[in-house]
Amino acid sequence: MGYKVVVVGATGNVGREMLNILAERQFPVDEITALASRKSLGTEVSFGDKTLTTKDLDVFDFAGWDVALFAVGSEATKIYAPKAAAAGCVVIDNSSLYRYDPDVPLVVPEVNPDAVEGYAKKNIIANPNCSTAQMVVALKPLHDRAKIKRVVVSTYQSVSGSGKDAIDELWNQTKGVYVPGQEVEPKVYPKQIAFNVIPHIDVFLEDGQTKEEWKMVAETKKIVDPSIKVTATCVRVPVFVGHSEAVNIEFEEFLDEDEARDILREAPGVMVIDKRENGGYVTPVECVGDYATFISRIRQDATIENGLNLWCVSDNLRKGAALNAVQIAETLGARVLKKG
């Protein structure tokens, strides 16, 4: 006996990827339905070799369904997630709405799988921010060995993190640079993204951080350890898919780079590709479509007593969103629901 699964926001980038990953990983589905807003009603989406026609989220009855994967924004989630949860359907939410709620577990299954068992307070589990998810997969096994004091991270985040309109904006601006008369003014972003980098993701807060930077701090503390100090600079770059991060880590005790490399090679969800030669590292183009979080450029930081640097790359539509949500569903099934 398998699960009855709902994908909410099935016509978006993340929703479609959720359907792909559910099929690829052979999640034990007895019945699946794809939901969308009324403007996308009737759109066809793929689930393995099947084609699903989207149904109306506004009138859908969640009673009798086991799991709902939500891939819609916070405003829609605020309306529909409580309805699903009240009907007995466990919500796995990809928006930021519930991430900082103390009664909602924030889960990366390779890092804190036990946390899924706290779902019952609200019948909701939160999926972390894409940039946080890939980083904590690398941090946790190192933290278990040498205890992390502080993390300094600079991100290089792809436009797919902002949705389809952002992908189109990069594509059209890039063409417009070369074709006179086809220049495209920025709409999704405050400045041109083609051939540029923008040190601004989400809104600015009073202390000068952006909300994206604050998310990385708060989520790392909630998922890994509240004692870790984190500072982040989040940057949008002209890459279609795949987030990259330069991560500087300070430990409480010395951790040799070779031991760190060995630890990460054994860590779940991590793939180490770290050769000190031309091309001996992973770039975002190479990570697209892969489940792993790739780690390269592991090296001591001689400017602090117990420091390491590393380079972290992952497909943000997969590990940063859809894959992590499906892994949460798998973990919930194995530990709590126990079907399939």
Catalytic residues: 130, 243
Residue 138 has pLDDT above 70, yes or no: yes
- pTM, two decimal places: 0.94
Q: In the prediction, which pLDDT does 339 show?
A: 79
Distance CA 316, CA 313 (A): 9
Q: Convert the pLDDT of each residue in 82-93 to its tens digit.
A: 999 999 999 999
Task: Determine the angle formed by the axes of helices 211-223 and 130-146, rounding to 10 degrees.
Answer: 40
Rounded to 5 degrees, what angle do the CA atoms 126, 330, 215 make?
A: 25
Cβ pair 94, 8 in contact under 8 A: no
The model's pLDDT over 193-241, given as tens digits with 9 standing for 90+, comes to: 999 999 999 999 999 999 999 999 999 999 999 999 999 999 999 999 9
The pLDDT of residue 340 is above 80: no
Among candidate residues 338, 337, 339, 322, the one with its CA nearest the CA of residue 120: 337
| Residues near 321 by beta carbon (within 8 Å), at least 6 away in sequence | 14, 17, 71, 94, 127, 130, 133
**Mean per-residue pLDDT, 12-31:** 95
